[in-house]
């Protein structure tokens, strides 16, 4: 019998399987840290939710393509449910939004536009609204538009009839002037990637941090009540996040002087006696995870561990523990609509 570190249920050995501390979507490493203290139910839950979100719909997930770990044709998009946005820069769709999509014919991802409408007023100035956010005609002034003056409406990724009906239902009675544009066929448009760092990303980072601590300090420690708050957050999304997010401050150099690319994990007991972890995938964003709650903390062992997962050599090596300080703080959304990251 074993006790799972995430659900704390006692189950027979056959109800457990190998759990990789760095999800396998982020690389297969020689000597990856593997846990035997995560039950199959929790493993499947994370695999089908948080790990999937992180791999398919986050800036780190897209880094898998940019670093060559995955090809653009293998990318699996969440489609219009994606919270990773692409903003179109100058061109016919300036200011509109899309999402990353697989590309069978080239090394880079394609961009698909969301169903949306651009309200043009005055000529040359576009106000884009996603299909579900198109304002009633009576409320146009709240969006800086004058309903008494001419507005050209550009429709993207919606059938003309669908667009016309939607506009009529919102009070647009004069529909003589609007243009329908198709997707930017093979056009190359400069884009800006906007990643959302919300609860799923923070829960995914918390789970990786807990797994790492179990790997380097033992599962028994992670099962203690000091970790109940992060456990509930990671496994059930309950309670509030204990995660701070910043840009990655750490550069890692190989012995030959070249700069290494990869993931790093850190777990270290702080002067407060509490263990704080750091999680960074592709050295893109750094998640600082406060794993223990002071009110529930018992005697804390001295932990000072860090590992680097090199995505080029596919090797795992110990790292000296980096400081917690540094790295520009990033705006973070509890709901996926506010925070931005521009690679
Ligand atoms: Zn479990």
Please tell me the distance between residue 221's alpha carbon and the centre of ligand 1 in angstroms. 16
CB atoms within 10 A of CB 49: 14
pTM (two decimals): 0.81
Mean pLDDT of 205-218: 97
Please tell me the distance between residue 46's alpha carbon and the centre of ligand 1 in angstroms. 10
Please tell me the distance between residue 17's alpha carbon and the centre of ligand 1 in angstroms. 10
Please tell me the distance between residue 2's alpha carbon and the centre of ligand 1 in angstroms. 10
pLDDT at position 339, please? 40
Q: What are phi and psi of 68, to 5 degrees?
A: 85, 5
Please tell me the distance between residue 44's alpha carbon and the centre of ligand 1 in angstroms. 9
Please tell me the distance between residue 10's alpha carbon and the centre of ligand 1 in angstroms. 9
The model's pLDDT over 221-275, given as tens digits with 9 standing for 90+, comes to: 999 999 999 999 999 999 988 999 999 999 998 888 888 999 999 999 998 889 9
Q: b/e per residue, 300-321, with b = 16+ CB within 10 A?
A: beebebbbbbbbeeeebeebee
pLDDT at position 336, please? 39
Mean pLDDT of 51-63: 89
Select, from the ranges 31-40, 119-128, 292-301, the one with the highest average predicted confidence (pLDDT).
31-40
Please tell me the distance between residue 198's alpha carbon and the centre of ligand 1 in angstroms. 24
The model's pLDDT over 293-333, given as tens digits with 9 standing for 90+, comes to: 877 666 678 999 999 999 999 999 999 999 988 878 776 65
Please tell me the distance between residue 37's alpha carbon and the centre of ligand 1 in angstroms. 8
Please tell me the distance between residue 188's alpha carbon and the centre of ligand 1 in angstroms. 47
Helices (H), 25-183: 40-48, 50-56, 59-66, 160-169
Please tell me the distance between residue 7's alpha carbon and the centre of ligand 1 in angstroms. 4
The model's pLDDT over 131-189, given as tens digits with 9 standing for 90+, comes to: 999 999 889 899 999 888 888 888 888 888 888 889 889 988 776 656 666 555 656 66
pLDDT at position 343, please? 35
**When comparing pLDDT for 52 and 186, which is higher?**
52
Total residue count of the chain as it appears in this document: 343
Please tell me the distance between residue 16's alpha carbon and the centre of ligand 1 in angstroms. 8
Please tell me the distance between residue 47's alpha carbon and the centre of ligand 1 in angstroms. 13
pLDDT at position 177, please? 55
Please tell me the distance between residue 235's alpha carbon and the centre of ligand 1 in angstroms. 9
The model's pLDDT over 8-19, given as tens digits with 9 standing for 90+, comes to: 999 999 999 999
Please, what is the average pLDDT of the chain? 86
């Amino acid at each position: 019998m074993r006790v799972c570190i995430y659900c704390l249920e006692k189950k027979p050995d056959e109800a457990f399987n190998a759990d990789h501390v760095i999800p396998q979507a982020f690389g297969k490493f020689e000597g990856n840290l593997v846990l035997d203290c995560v039950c199959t139910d929790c493993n499947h839950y994370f695999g089908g939710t948080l790990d999937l979100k992180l791999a398919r719909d986050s800036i780190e997930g897209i880094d898998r393509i940019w670093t060559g770990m995955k090809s653009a044709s293998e990318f699996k998009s969440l489609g219009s449910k994606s919270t990773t946005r692409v903003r179109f820069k100058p061109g016919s769709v300036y200011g509109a939004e899309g999402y990353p999509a697989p590309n069978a014919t080239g090394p880079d991802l394609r961009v698909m536009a969301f169903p949306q409408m651009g309200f043009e007023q005055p000529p040359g100035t576009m106000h884009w609204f996603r299909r579900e956010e198109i304002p009633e005609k009576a409320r146009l002034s709240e969006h800086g538009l004058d309903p008494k003056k001419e507005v050209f409406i550009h429709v993207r990724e919606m059938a003309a009839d669908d667009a016309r009906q939607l506009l009529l239902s919102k009070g647009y009675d004069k529909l003589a002037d609007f243009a329908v544009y198709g997707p930017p066929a093979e056009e190359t448009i400069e884009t800006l990637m906007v990643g959302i760092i919300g609860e799923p990303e923070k829960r995914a980072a918390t789970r990786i941090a807990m797994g790492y601590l179990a790997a380097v300090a033992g599962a028994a420690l992670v099962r203690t009540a000091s970790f109940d708050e992060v456990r509930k957050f990671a496994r059930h999304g309950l309670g509030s996040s204990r995660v701070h997010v910043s840009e990655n401050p750490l550069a890692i150099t190989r012995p030959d002087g070249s700069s290494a690319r990869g993931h790093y994990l850190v777990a270290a007991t702080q002067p407060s006696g509490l263990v704080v972890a750091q999680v960074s995938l592709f050295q893109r964003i750094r998640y600082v995870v406060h794993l223990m709650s002071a009110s529930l903390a018992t005697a804390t062992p001295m932990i000072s561990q860090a590992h680097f997962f090199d995505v080029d050599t596919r090797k795992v090596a110990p790292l000296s523990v980096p400081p917690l300080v540094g790295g520009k703080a990033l705006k973070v959304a509890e709901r996926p609509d506010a925070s931005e990251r521009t690679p």
